Structure 1
Amino acid sequence: MTSKARKRVVLPTRPAPPTVEQILEDVQGALPSDPVFTSFTPQSLEEISAPQEIEDPEAERERQYQQSRSYVAMNHRLQLACGLLKQKCEELRQAGDNLEQDILEMKQRALLGAQGSSCLPSMDSSG
């Protein structure tokens, strides 16, 4: 029988993480067409951070109203999910308790079965 011994592959050591200066240098040297930075162009970052001028107070009120409705709906869904999670957690805890109880019962039966079989006289065919 031939046994093939597997050679253990030695992996190269992990390189040290880059320093802050190296990261900043990489970011500053990146091209504008770099896929990592295309969604966050300076123009879009300015739009995000710039305060929006309110042109129409009625439109702003409507936007805030819709935002509030969305928040209330999400909060309601979150509360329902939290209740469901608590219920499932309790069911899981109960299943764990039942499993522990079943394991204890099985151990006791196995122990009683082992004791019962050792008490029985052995049947010898020589007699």
Structure 2
Amino acid sequence: MTVSIDEVSVENFHDFVRIYEGNSTTGKLLKSITSQVNHQVLNITTKTVLIVFLTDQSITDRGFHITVKARVVPDDPSMGYGTWTVIRIVGIILIILCLLIIYTRPWIQKRRDQNKTEQQPKPPQEEEPTNLFAD
């Protein structure tokens, strides 16, 4: 999940925007913002995030604008999407090669058997005796 902090403009030390992992304030505090912040991005690996706004209501300011986007995260974040694509392609190629070996093996064996049969010497055929004293 990506949390884009587009703008936070709140009273310094009296108003806060806090971002927690999970769905309660007992989760890990990822960011606590007071005063002004612009254009920060947090990449979060949990499925839920909690955004809490705390104020003393004494002074007003612009407030905050935060965008949250869900995205697919690989099992191992250190491996990029390109690596997973290469792994998938190699896997598909290996499957195709295995299928080729499995399905062409009987055909290759049949061809070998035919070649062995053709290469075996043929037994000599008996010739009919010719009669040299024929009438």
How high is the TM-score relative to the length of structure 2?
0.33
How high is the TM-score relative to the length of structure 1?
0.34
Q: Larger Cα Rg: Structure 1 or Structure 2?
A: 2
Which structure carries more strand by proportion? 2
Which structure carries more helix by proportion? 1
| Larger RCO, structure (CA 8 Å, separation 6 or more) | 2
